[in-house]
Amino acid sequence: MNLPVNTTDKVPQHIAIIMDGNNRWAKKHGVPGPIGHRAGADIVKPLMYACRDRGVKTLTLFAFSSENWQRPETEVRALMALLSRYLRREIKELAADGVGIRFIGRRDRLSPRIAKLLEQSEEATQHNTEATLVLALDYGGRWDVSSAAASLAKDVAGGRINADDINEQLLSSRMSLADQPAPDLCIRTGGEWRLSNFLLWQFAYAELWFTDTLWPDFTVNELDVAISHFSSRERRYGGRPAEASA
């Protein structure tokens, strides 16, 4: 069977970014690490608006991985404080501009104050449909898959579904991003060439684009380069173009 080739949708509907390089940027500029994280946070809103203006409906950012708890305690505290300040400062403008805010990942390991702030941010923007900003906090791709599987196992044990009914679609419906289209494009900054346990299930057919640019230096112009590369690629989803089959 020949699957349809996506040649008409030239703009990705969902971009996911692994934001890497804040600490190296700080070291390069001779400033403390938290300054690098702050510089990285400052470019989030301009990029969110740039994505929206280009027709990208969802932007997902890997803000804090489940492995990041292994970092020095002072850095973790600084990151959480930065998150709190960012949301308190920017949420009103994002809400007024029609941007919905979503968070994915575990919340049981966050402080009650941070967890409450996430809930308030989602509630304040839940009816916004202009664009969606998703922040992955205490998130891991393996955790996402195992949590979805555990949810289905509980339903099987409770007699709500049959084990034979479990398929890819049902498992996907229990994933953290079930309410969003699968990412079309994954961007990683900072020169590393790996996914680092980010959206492993959802990236099955995503296009991957890597850049040496450190995250605080990532610009709208470079975003346009990534989108241009995406637009030039032929997405066959394992199939073959109709003309090649003929």
Mean pLDDT of 209-235: 95
Q: Give me the pLDDT at residue 233, please.
A: 85
Exactly one of 20, 138, 144, 184 is catalytic; name it. Answer: 20
Give yes or no for residue 237 having a pLDDT over 80: no
- The pLDDT confidence band at residue 244, using thresholds 50, 70 and 90, is low
In-domain check, residue 100: yes
Q: Give me the pLDDT at residue 235, please.
A: 74
Q: In what order do the strands lie in the sheet with 185-188?
A: 99-104, 131-139, 58-65, 14-18, 185-188, 207-210
Q: What would the pLDDT profile of 165-179 be if each residue is shown by its tens digit?
A: 999 999 999 999 999
Average pLDDT, the chain: 91
The two three-digit tokens of residue 213, written as one number: 């640019």
Exactly one of 6, 68, 128, 197 is catalytic; name it. Answer: 68
In-domain check, residue 6: no
* Type of residue numbered 108: D
In-domain check, residue 53: yes
In-domain check, residue 207: yes
| CATH code for the domain in which residue 215 is found | 3.40.1180.10
* Type of residue numbered 29: H
How far from 220 is each of 26, 45, 52, 75, CA to CA, in Å?
A: 21, 11, 12, 28
Q: Give me the pLDDT at residue 169, please.
A: 95
Mean pLDDT of 192-209: 96
The yes-or-no answer on residue 53 being catalytic is no
Q: What would the pLDDT profile of 78-137 be if each residue is shown by its tens digit?
A: 999 999 999 999 888 999 999 999 999 999 999 999 999 999 999 999 999 999 999 999
CA dihedral 201, 205, 210, 215 (to 10 degrees): -50
- The pLDDT confidence band at residue 240, using thresholds 50, 70 and 90, is low
Q: Give me the pLDDT at residue 2, please.
A: 34
Nearest 5°: the CA angle 23, 215, 96 is 120
CA distance 112 to 79: 16
Q: Give me the pLDDT at residue 141, please.
A: 97
Please, are residues 188 and 218 in contact by the beta-carbon 8 Å criterion? no
Q: What would the pLDDT profile of 121-168 be if each residue is shown by its tens digit?
A: 999 999 999 999 999 999 999 999 999 999 999 999 999 999 999 999
Q: Give me the pLDDT at residue 216, please.
A: 98
Query: If you ran DSSP here, which 8-state letter would residue 235 be given?
Result: B
Q: Which domain holds residue 237?
A: 14-245
The yes-or-no answer on residue 20 being catalytic is yes
List the one residue out of 111, 12, 134, 148 whose CA is nearest residue 63. Answer: 134
Phi, psi (deg, nearest 5) at residue 27: -65, -40
What total number of domains does the chain contain? Answer: 1
Give yes or no for residue 5 having a pLDDT over 60: no
In-domain check, residue 9: no
In-domain check, residue 3: no
Q: Give me the pLDDT at residue 18, please.
A: 98
